[in-house]
Amino acid sequence: MPETKLSITPALTIPDFLVGEVQSKLAYVDEWIVNARVDPSGEKIDLDLSQPAAAERAGELAEKVQRVVASLVEGAFKPKIQVLEDHLDRPAPYTADPHTELLARGEISQEAQGIFTLGPLVTRLVEYFESRFRELAVSFGASPYRFPTLIPARYLERVNYFRAFPHSLTFVTHLREDLDAIDHFAQHAACDEHGLNEPAGSFAPIQTLLSPAVCYHLYFALADQPLPGGQVVATAVGNCFRYESTNLTSLERLWNFTMREVIFVGSKDFVLDNRETARQRMHQVFESVGLAYRVESATDPFFIGEFRKQSVFQSAFQLKFEIRARLPFKDSTLAVGSYNYHQNFFGRNLNISLPDGTPAHTGCVAFGLERMAFAFLAQYGLQPENWPAAVQVALQERIE
Ligand code: ATP
Ligand code: ZN
Ligand code: MG
């Protein structure tokens, strides 16, 4: 009888350092897969399917899964994780999953997968952490910017985004400027269980996407010219969009989230020194809010084809460090921010030049605001009287 569960033995055993990566990429393998679990042994993959798969379909699914495993695992070697700070054992009193209590109290409500409304408690916490991140920006004398939520497709193409992260793109369109098309849409558009059932041919070609990051907008604003004064420090907060499919769960992983970035553009030393200074300053901040976390080297979530090459490159050159906060309820960690160095990638691709004519280097310090609030709540719970004094006082001032 066709089954809605499928168990697959990977032809190559998945090493422990790739179990999470394979698991997150399985979400994009086939629309029938509603849930995928890689056994910690790396020797079994269990799939839940949206409908029963007969033998032929099951074979097809297994073949696609094997392909993903092979391309991530073949020739991979364990990256050396460099730990810059370790405060994971800082005591944190709460051990439950805050998601359940947040929902029960109406502090978050889900509009759709990965899309949440935040209530007053979470909003105040987000604003509090935002204020601490803004203080970091001020300490560097960063110039404030505001960037749009939309980003032109041509921009992302210029920095190879389509090749690196195709799976997480979010496209934007509008109705064609055509009276008949608009009238037809107005008459017939309807939502069913699959979404908006638009009449064929209503939409204009895609020229725009929802922005996946904040700092790209600055690099495009600086493109094709000499860098003013030879160095720039900027800051902005913005909506970011990454479609993470079945990995979208709670505030941990959202489709629409908010990032505060401090961005450095200049010489290699300027960027690397500032990135390091930012880490040291944030050390004080995280200490004052009592966060249990560690800072360690990491790689970006590249899609399957690019993953191996790019992640090896990123680890070798220590381009990314993540601030990983402890989530006691699941005995794991979650990245609440990252310290990034892009070498002269954007300077070269976007033709941003230093006074000596060479391409500028860039780096950014990026904080996920919802994740920061979520990780804090996972460690301290929803009762402000159990929070570290600094946070309690700051929130009290916000209410008065
Ligand atoms: P992860 O590996 O957890 O997906 P990332 O490497 O994609 O994170 P960055 O590109 O470094 O994340 O983005 C900076 C910060 O933005 C992250 O540290 C995190 O706090 C936040 N962030 C990234 N993706 C999401 C998301 N889908 N939902 C909520 N916050 C996110
Ligand atoms: Zn950035
Ligand atoms: Mg990451």
Ligand 1 atom nearest residue 334's Cα: 3
| pLDDT score recorded for residue 1 | 62
| pLDDT score recorded for residue 142 | 98
Ligand 1 atom nearest residue 248's Cα: 27
List all residues 6 or more positions away from 168 whose beta carbon is below 8 Å from its beta carbon. 212, 242, 243, 244, 301
Q: How far apart are CA 312 and CA 155, in angstroms?
A: 25
Ligand 1 atom nearest residue 298's Cα: 6
Report the share of the chain in percent with pLDDT over 90.
87
Residue to probe by mutation, ligand 1, list 257, 314, 323, 333, most atoms within 8 Å of CB: 257
Q: How far apart are CA 191 and CA 202, in angstroms?
A: 15
Tell me the one-letter amino acid at 400.
Answer: E
Which ligand has the minimum distance to the alpha carbon of residue 214? Answer: 2
Q: How far apart are CA 322 and CA 217, in angstroms?
A: 22
Q: How far apart are CA 253 and CA 113, in angstroms?
A: 10
pLDDT digits (tens, 9 = 90+) for 312-339: 888 888 999 999 999 999 999 999 999 9
| pLDDT score recorded for residue 199 | 77
- pLDDT at residue 157 is higher than 70: yes
Residue 320's SS3 state is strand
pLDDT interval class at 14 (50, 70, 90): very high
Task: For ligand 1, atom 25, name the residue with the nearest CA.
Answer: 253
Query: Which has the minimum average pLDDT: 191-200, 267-276, 290-299?
Result: 191-200
Region 102-117: mean pLDDT is 96
Task: For ligand 1, atom 16, name the residue with the nearest CA.
Answer: 368
Helix axes 55-73, 19-26, angle to 10 degrees: 140
| pLDDT score recorded for residue 154 | 97
Task: For ligand 1, atom 2, name the residue with the nearest CA.
Answer: 301
Region 362-387: mean pLDDT is 97
pLDDT digits (tens, 9 = 90+) for 258-277: 999 999 999 999 999 999 99
pLDDT digits (tens, 9 = 90+) for 31-86: 999 999 999 999 999 999 999 999 999 999 999 999 999 999 998 888 899 999 99
| pLDDT score recorded for residue 30 | 95
Which ligand has the minimum distance to the alpha carbon of residue 218? Answer: 2
Region 159-176: mean pLDDT is 95
List all residues 6 or more positions away from 299 whose beta carbon is below 8 Å from its beta carbon. 79, 310, 311, 314, 315, 320
How far apart are the CA of 30 and the centre of ligand 2, in A? 30
Do residues 249 and 27 make contact, with C-beta atoms less than 8 angstroms apart?
A: no
Residue to probe by mutation, ligand 1, list 18, 130, 242, 315, most atoms within 8 Å of CB: 242
How far apart are the CA of 299 and the centre of ligand 1, in A? 11
Summary mean pLDDT of the chain: 95
Query: Which has the minimum average pLDDT: 247-256, 266-275, 276-285?
Result: 247-256
- pLDDT at residue 91 is higher than 80: yes
Q: How far apart are CA 308 and CA 21, in angstroms?
A: 11
Region 233-256: mean pLDDT is 95
pLDDT interval class at 169 (50, 70, 90): very high
Helix axes 304-316, 55-73, angle to 10 degrees: 20
pLDDT interval class at 301 (50, 70, 90): confident
Region 162-185: mean pLDDT is 95
Ligand 1 atom nearest residue 369's Cα: 20
Note the pTM of the prediction, 2 decimals. Answer: 0.95
Do residues 36 and 6 make contact, with C-beta atoms less than 8 angstroms apart?
A: no
- pLDDT at residue 399 is higher than 80: no
pLDDT interval class at 305 (50, 70, 90): confident
| pLDDT score recorded for residue 312 | 85
Q: How far apart are CA 109 and CA 106, in angstroms?
A: 6
Ligand 1 atom nearest residue 242's Cα: 27
Which ligand has the minimum distance to the alpha carbon of residue 325? Answer: 1
Ligand 1, CB within 6 Å, residue ranges: 242, 244, 253-254, 257, 259, 300-301, 335-338, 366, 368, 370-371
Report the share of the chain in percent with pLDDT over 70.
100
| pLDDT score recorded for residue 324 | 98
What are φ and ψ of residue 233, in 5° steps? -125, 125
Task: For ligand 1, atom 21, name the residue with the nearest CA.
Answer: 368
